[in-house]
Amino acid sequence: MTLGRLYGEWKGAVRVVLIAGFALLGGCTTYVQTQVAAFSDWSGTDATRTYAFVRSAPQQNSIEQQTYEVLAANELASHSFKQVPDASARYLVELSYSIRGDMVTVRQPVYYDPWPMYGGWYGRPYGWGAYGGWGGLDMGPAGYVDQSYPIFVHSLQIRMTERENGREVYKVTASNSGGESSLVRAMPYLIRSALADFPLGNGTVRRVKIPLDKTGGIGNEAPAATATSVKPPAPALVPGPVLVQ
């Protein structure tokens, strides 16, 4: 194999690795990381966790909305919620969601190349530099180049109100970002992260990591949560659960 061909394949591999770093929702090959914020005035018990979904005007007759409701219902069931007809539900559950695209720019080092006929070296695992003051090779970069990649921000809000009086008792927002352009594929991670350890204490802000399985889907391990900041709850509220990494 010629040096030029070796360089070409290595440079291509580096680009694949860089892109893969943004391809998953959480920017990691083993888990998806989601930012979660919750506001709570929850006082319900397992016996009163009956609910029905409520839809906004644009969500009426929406197959997409129905798909997300099924995902949310499965997760709510794991927290002792039971879906019932609207008239007999204690709580109404609203889902709001969105996706927006952006570009992220990553600055990459460019190193000195003693063989310019083969092009510049990026990352330089085999590159050479000028001789440094210590008599060895100076491994510092010769410069930097900016490379841009698409990134998508996925967001979900779950809001619970009491059906009889409209009082809001729980609102949680989950968001993550990465190279995944499909909200459908992001939604299972958003829903599971938003409802993990329900109910959270009022003013809780944290990151939730959901492991991936070998096929790229949600793993069987429980989500791991890390508190980034927790607003002290009012004296009448029960403190939120202890979060572990």
What count of other Cβ atoms lies within 10 Å of the Cβ of residue 156? 25
Q: Which DSSP state fits 218?
A: B
Contact 158, 94 (CB under 8 A): yes
152 token code pair: 């998508």
Residue 87 maps to a domain:
yes
What count of other Cβ atoms lies within 10 Å of the Cβ of residue 91? 21
**What DSSP line would sit under 151-178, residue for residue?**
EEEEEEEEEEEETTT--EEEEEEEEEEE
pLDDT values of the chain reduced to their tens digit, one per residue, 245 residues: 443 443 344 334 333 333 333 334 434 458 899 999 999 999 999 999 999 999 999 999 999 999 999 999 999 999 999 999 999 999 999 999 999 998 888 898 887 655 555 554 444 444 444 444 444 455 567 788 998 989 999 999 999 999 999 999 999 999 999 988 999 999 999 999 999 999 999 999 999 999 887 655 666 566 777 765 544 444 333 333 333 33
Residue 238 maps to a domain:
no
**Predicted pLDDT of residue 142:** 76
**Predicted pLDDT of residue 202:** 98
**Predicted pLDDT of residue 26:** 39
* Distance, CA of 133 to chain centre: 46
Residue 184 maps to a domain:
yes
The answer, as to whether pTM is greater than 0.95, is no
Tally of structural domains, the chain: 1
Q: What's the chain's length in residues? A: 245
What CA–CA distances, in Å, run from 62 to 56, 57, 92?
Answer: 10, 10, 18
**Predicted pLDDT of residue 153:** 96
Residue 171 maps to a domain:
yes
What CA–CA distances, in Å, run from 24 to 13, 35, 189, 210?
Answer: 17, 15, 11, 12
Residue 244 maps to a domain:
no
Contact residues for 167 (Cβ-Cβ < 8 A; gap 6+): 41, 161
Residue 243 maps to a domain:
no
**How many Å apart are CA 45 and CA 68, to the nearest integer?**
25
Residue 96 maps to a domain:
yes
Name the phi and psi angles at 34, rounded to 5.
-130, 135
Owning domain of residue 7? 3-230
**Predicted pLDDT of residue 219:** 61
Query: What H or E segment, with its residue span, contains residue 63?
Result: helix 63-77
Residue 237 maps to a domain:
no
**Predicted pLDDT of residue 242:** 34
